[in-house]
């Protein structure tokens, strides 16, 4: 259920999920999955098949690629190989989503802070953000291992609010997975679904309880004009 608060409360910070919301990381993660499929002499998957699973991390990619066909020990070996390959090829093809630069620049012009709250572990998040020069722009980075709990628990988002020195109802959270919307709502802030992200055809986003959705990063500016 969406958070309950004054709809006209001014927004002072925008918090983004990373994969599938702020950054288009799917091409590099698809390469990592296909790498381990090739190691097992399996048929590689198309980018279109892999893209919706990217938000579920290495475990989700392994499930997509292998299902339950591997022995547990071999599955764990390949999961580690997938992560290692990805770590060594972290930013070959990854970019900001189209229009995100305009959104981030406009937020700064409006004196609205922005931060990152992701379940991606810090040993992957930090170098990736640095490679794209975003570490010098963002006001906070919360990774999956920054706090004891990760999304859908609200703790990472509440920690971001604390670092920014804003209350949850002064922030919004944008993500492309149900756990993002659940975490933001449980933290007491408005939530937005990034429909341009890694959303599968079967995902019923209308049932996630978000306060809105956007088809393109720049659409958030219109939403802010209408709702804050």
pLDDT tens-digit series, residues 173-192 = 999 999 999 999 999 999 99
The pLDDT of residue 44 is: 97
Q: Residue for token digits 């953000």?
A: 129
The pLDDT tens digits for 88-141 are 999 999 999 999 999 999 999 999 999 999 999 999 999 999 999 999 999 999
Mean pLDDT of 6-35: 92
Does position 65 have pLDDT exceeding 60, yes or no?
Answer: yes
- Active site residue ranges: 17, 19
The pLDDT of residue 211 is: 96
181/21 Cα distance (integer angstroms): 12
169/11 Cα distance (integer angstroms): 8
Q: Are strands 171-175 and 140-142 parallel, antiparallel or unpaired?
A: unpaired
The pLDDT of residue 225 is: 92
Average pLDDT along the chain:
94
**Is-contact 96 197, C-beta < 8 A?**
no
Does position 145 have pLDDT exceeding 90, yes or no?
Answer: yes
Mean pLDDT of 7-12: 78
1/185 Cα distance (integer angstroms): 7
pLDDT band at 8 (very low <50, low <70, confident <90, very high): low
The pLDDT of residue 16 is: 98
pLDDT band at 227 (very low <50, low <70, confident <90, very high): confident
3-state helix, strand, coil in the chain (%, to 5): 50, 15, 40
Mean pLDDT of 29-37: 98
Q: Are strands 113-117 and 95-96 parallel, antiparallel or unpaired?
A: unpaired
The pLDDT of residue 121 is: 96
**Is-contact 50 64, C-beta < 8 A?**
yes
28/212 Cα distance (integer angstroms): 29
97/163 Cα distance (integer angstroms): 26
Mean pLDDT of 194-223: 96
147/63 Cα distance (integer angstroms): 26
- pTM for the structure as a whole: 0.94
**Is-contact 46 189, C-beta < 8 A?**
no
Mean pLDDT of 134-163: 97
Query: Is residue 23 helix, strand or coil?
Result: strand
CB count in 10 Å sphere of residue 31: 17
The pLDDT tens digits for 19-31 are 999 999 999 999 9
The pLDDT of residue 2 is: 44
């Amino acid at each position: 259920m969406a958070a309950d608060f004054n709809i006209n409360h001014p927004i002072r910070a925008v918090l983004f999920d990373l994969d599938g919301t702020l950054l288009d990381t799917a091409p590099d993660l698809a390469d990592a999955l296909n790498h381990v499929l090739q190691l097992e002499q399996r048929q590689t998957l198309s980018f279109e098949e892999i893209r919706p699973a990217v938000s579920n991390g290495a475990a989700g990619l392994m499930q997509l690629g292998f299902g339950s066909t591997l022995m547990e020990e071999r599955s764990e070996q390949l999961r580690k190989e997938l992560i290692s390959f990805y770590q060594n090829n972290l930013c070959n093809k990854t970019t900001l989503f189209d229009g995100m630069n305009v959104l981030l620049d406009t937020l700064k012009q409006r004196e609205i802070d922005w931060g990152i709250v992701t379940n991606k572990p810090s040993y992957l998040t930090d170098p990736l953000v640095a490679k794209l020069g975003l570490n010098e722009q963002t006001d906070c980075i919360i990774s999956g291992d920054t706090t004891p709990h990760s999304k859908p628990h609200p703790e990472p988002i509440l920690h971001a609010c604390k670092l920014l020195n804003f209350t949850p109802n002064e922030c919004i959270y944008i993500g492309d997975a149900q756990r993002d919307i659940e975490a933001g709502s449980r933290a007491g802030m408005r939530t937005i679904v990034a429909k341009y992200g890694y959303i599968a055809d079967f995902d019923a986003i209308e049932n996630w309880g978000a306060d809105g959705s956007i088809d393109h990063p720049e659409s958030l500016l219109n939403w802010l004009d209408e709702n804050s």
